[in-house]
Amino acid sequence: MLNARWAKSGLAMLLPIVLIVLWQLAGHDGALAGGALPTPDRVWKAWLIWGFGTPGPMSLSPYIGNWIDAVAFSSFRVAKGFAMAIVVGIPLGIVLGWSKLAAALVDPTIQWLRPIPITAWLPISIAIYGISDFGAIFLIAIGAFYPIVVNTTQGARDVDKTWIRAALMMGASKIDILRRVVLPAALPAVFTGLRIGLGIAWTAVIVAEIVAVKSGLGYVLWDAYYVGRMDIVIADMVSIGLFGFMSDWAIVQLEFALLRWRRLQSFNA
Amino acid sequence: MSTINFTQVAKTYGDVRALDRVDLTVREGEFVALLGPSGCGKSTLLNLVAGFEKLSEGTMSFDGRPVTKPGPDRGVVFQEAALLPWLSVWENVVFGPKVQRISRAEYEPRATEILRIVGLENFHAALPVQLSGGMRQRVGIARAFVMQPRALLMDEPFGALDAQTRLSMQALLLDVWQSLKTTVLFVTHDIDEAILLADRVCVMTARPGRITRDIPITLPRPRTLDALTSAEFTRFKAEIMAEMRGVH
């Protein structure tokens, strides 16, 4: 068992290592693409300074020892916006899946607003909230909301009729049925929505920080590009990937714990 | 006193007449089997009593009152158990008492006892997917009995089981029923099953769904699986088979 897990981790690491080695070999004197891109060793050095360096009184670089701040700003924004999307999206999706009237009333509007990309919401967000934290959180919430509500609605709509009948027969009220039957039955679809929504949340936070706020990984990404620090740009991109991956992993762990019944049913168990 | 009463009941789906002028009375404590081919409306009849569907014509009452919605006074055992797959055996069985806000002190001993009777005392924590079809249906039966319903409505509960398991489930149901004497309406297409279990077998025909014969099964109680091979049993079987062939 343990060996199999190690083997799987080894396989997962193989491709990234090959890509990094090729990238390193393709460069000369720490640069490639005619000097536009740094090699991995340079990126790594810049990253270490960004992460653990101590700025002296004379240092001009803004990327010394403050990596964790950028990470924290972005992560908290994602967490807040994503939480807002969940708090609105899951209950609304359950109601839309359950009630034909509610669906007829609200669903068309959702489907019509949904194709508007979060980038198109930027002017409105800045007009209302200015260059503020909440403007970014608002964009993240909008971006993550759609996949969550659409998948939850689908999941709630597909609930087996006999489960509802069984619950009614046992004396369950409407609220009981929504909470104890429709929600758990929709949970596999809800998790699909959460994972897609979280991916969009990370896209949204970077876009928002490039345009609408002055902190976080997205801000550093664009700022570093302007001052020609491509080593920081790449270290920043890898950081986004890392934290996006870790937050997705956390959701997968939660899914794993909550949907044991579903896992036992599936072919690949 | 009659528990279930149908008077000239019809049920139509669009142009299709699923049930036509059905009269049926089930007395308190009686075990009545509805026997017929698939599509004869026997499940529809049961769904009307359960409150899952509404009748189109006629009147129907349960315990002297018209049925308006499903409720725990009528325990339903579904074709393939229809357990909630994310709940354990125990949680499935106590779902009813819980949503009815019955105190834990009251339902816990009852649920424990019923799970012991159906032979699942060691499976409280198992999920439905980890059980065999027969065990799942035992949970379905326990879930209905734990509510102490006025009547039990069983919709081909053993239809999906293999022959061996079906026999053991029939024996179990005979045991439980003979000690509790709950009113039972039992839908099946299996002639042997209907005769073995029921006090009366109502033979139904399809298109339109109608009860054509109501045959009292006078086999002595308490019954066991041995009844299946008795001479009297064979006589009932011959009579019912003639009836079913005759109307086809």
Residues in chain B with CB shorter than 8 Å from the CB of A176 are 99
Mind listing the pLDDT tens digit for each residue in A189-220? 999 999 999 999 999 999 999 998 899 999 99
What digits encode the pLDDT tens for the residues A89-125? 999 999 999 999 999 999 999 999 999 999 999 999 9
Of B70, B76, B129, the CB nearest to A265: B129
- Confidence label for A1 from pLDDT (cuts 50, 70 and 90): low
Q: Do B100 and A165 touch (CB under 8 A)?
A: no
Half-sphere exposure of B94 (CA within 13 A, CB side): 19
- Name the B residues in 34-63 with CB < 8 Å from any A CB: 50-52
Retrieve residue B185's tokens: 């309406």
Is the confidence at residue B82, as pLDDT, over 50? Answer: yes
Q: By the CB < 8 Å criterion, does B8 face chain A? A: no
| Tally of CB atoms within 10 A around B213 | 17
* Tens digits of residue pLDDT in A52-70: 988 887 777 889 999 999 9
Cross-chain residue pair B95–A180, CB shorter than 8 Å: yes
Please determine, for residue A269, whether its predicted confidence score (pLDDT) is greater than 90.
no
| pLDDT (0 to 100) of residue A45 | 94
Predicted confidence at residue B38, as pLDDT, reads: 85
Residues of A in contact with B74 (CB under 8 A): 169
The pLDDT tens digits for A36-56 are: 889 999 999 999 999 998 888
A175 reaches B (C-beta below 8 A): no
Q: Are A141 and A85 in contact (CB under 8 A)?
A: yes
User: What letter represents residue B83's amino acid?
Assistant: L
Structure tokens at A77: 């924004």
d(CA A158, CA A252): 22
**Are B127 and A180 an interchain contact pair (Cβ–Cβ within 8 Å)?**
no
B 15-34 residues with CB below 8 A of A?
Answer: none
pLDDT of residue B248: 46
Cα–Cα distances in Å, from A180 out to A166, B69, B92?
Answer: 12, 19, 11
Q: Does residue A219 lie within any of the structural domains?
A: yes
Grade residue A264 by pLDDT with cuts at 50, 70 and 90. Answer: confident
On the question of pLDDT at B246 being above 80, the answer is no
- Write down the pLDDT at residue B137: 95
Closest in A163, A165, A173 to B52, CB measured? A165
A47 in a structural domain: no
Q: How many residues make up chain B in this entry?
A: 248
**Distance from C-alpha of B16 to C-alpha of B19, rounded to nearest angstrom:** 9
Is A100 within 8 Å of chain B by CB?
no
What torsion, rounded to 10 degrees, do the Cα atoms A190, A192, A194, A195 define? 170
Contacts of A151 (CB under 8 A, 6+ apart): A93, A189, A190, A192, A193, A196
For residue B70, which residues of chain A lie inside 8 Å, CB to CB?
A: 165, 168-169
Contact A162 B50 (CB under 8 A): no
Cβ of residue A6 closer than 8 Å to a chain B Cβ: no
Cβ distance A184 to B86 less than 8 Å, yes or no, reads yes
Mean pLDDT for B165-193 is: 94
On whether any CB of chain A is under 8 Å from the CB of B131, the answer is: no
Q: A171 and B85: CB-CB below 8 Å? A: no
What is the structure's pLDDT at B1? 65
CATH number for the B2-73+150-246 domain, one of 3.40.50.2300, 3.40.50.1000, 3.30.1240.10, 3.40.50.300? Answer: 3.40.50.300
What one-letter code names the amino acid at A255? E
The domain that holds A200 is classified in CATH as 1.10.3720.10
Contact B48, B153 (CB under 8 A): no
The C-alpha atoms of residue B199 and residue A124 are separated, in whole angstroms, by 74
Quick check: is A218 in a domain?
yes
DSSP assignment of chain A equals -HHHHHHHHHHHHHHHHHHHHHHHHH-BTTEETTTTEE-HHHHHHHHHHHHH----TT---S-SS-HHHHHHHHHHHHHHHHHHHHHHHHHHHHHHHH-HHHHHHHHHHHHHHTTS-GGGGHHHHHHHH-SSHHHHHHHHHHHHHHHHHHHHHHHHHT--HHHHHHHHHTT--HHHHIIIIIHHHHHHHHHHHHHHHHHHHHHHHHHHHHHT-S-SHHHHHHHHHHTT-HHHHHHHHHHHHHHHHHHHHHHHHHHHHHTHHHHHHSTT-
pLDDT at A188 over 60: yes
- pLDDT: which is higher, A27 or A185: A185
Contact B82 A160 (CB under 8 A): yes
How many structural domains does chain A have?
A: 1
CB atoms within 10 A of CB A265: 14
CA distance B47 to chain A (A): 10
Q: Are B124 and B89 in contact (CB under 8 A)?
A: yes
- pLDDT given for residue A33 in this prediction: 72
HEC string of chain B equals CEEEEEEEEEEEECCEEEEEEEEEEEECCCEEEEECCCCCCHHHHHHHHHCCCCCCEEEEEECCEECCCCCCCEEEECCCCCCCCCCCHHHHHHHHHHHCCCCHHHHHHHHHHHHHHCCCCCCCCCCHHHCCHHHHHHHHHHHHHCCCCCEEEEECCCCCCCHHHHHHHHHHHHHHHHHHCCEEEEEECCHHHHHHHCCEEEEEECCCCEEEEEEECCCCCCCCHHHHHCHHHHHHHHHHHHHHHHCC
Closest approach of A264 to chain B, Cα-based (Å): 7
Q: Mark yes or no for CB contact A184/B127 under 8 Å.
A: no
For residue B31, pLDDT beyond 90? yes
| Residue keyed to tokens 């992560």 | A75
Name the residue ranges covered by the structural domains of chain B. Answer: 2-73+150-246, 82-148
pLDDT of residue A267: 67
- Rounded to a whole number, what is the distance in Å from the CA of B76 to chain A's nearest CA? 7
In a domain, A113, yes or no: yes
Question: Which among A165, A167, A261 is the nearest to B127, CB-wise?
Answer: A261
Query: Which tokens belong to B87?
Result: 């709940």
Strands B2-13 and B57-62: antiparallel
pLDDT of residue A7: 86
Q: What percent of chain A has pLDDT over 70?
A: 98
**Tokens 């489960």 sit at which residue?**
A163
Q: B147 to chain A: which residues are within 8 Å by CB?
A: 170-171
Parent domain of A239: 71-258
Q: Each residue of B104-155: pLDDT tens digit? A: 999 999 999 999 999 999 999 999 999 999 999 999 999 999 999 999 999 9
- Asked whether residue A82 is assigned to any structural domain, the reply reads yes
Task: Write out chain B residues lying below 8 Å of A185, CB-based.
Answer: 86
Query: What confidence tier does A268 reach under pLDDT thresholds 50, 70, 90?
Result: low
Alpha carbon of A171: minimum distance to chain B alpha carbons (Å): 5
Token digits for B227?
């009844």
Instruction: Please check the confidence at residue B229 and state whether its pLDDT lies above 90.
Output: yes
Cβ distance A166 to B78 less than 8 Å, yes or no, reads yes
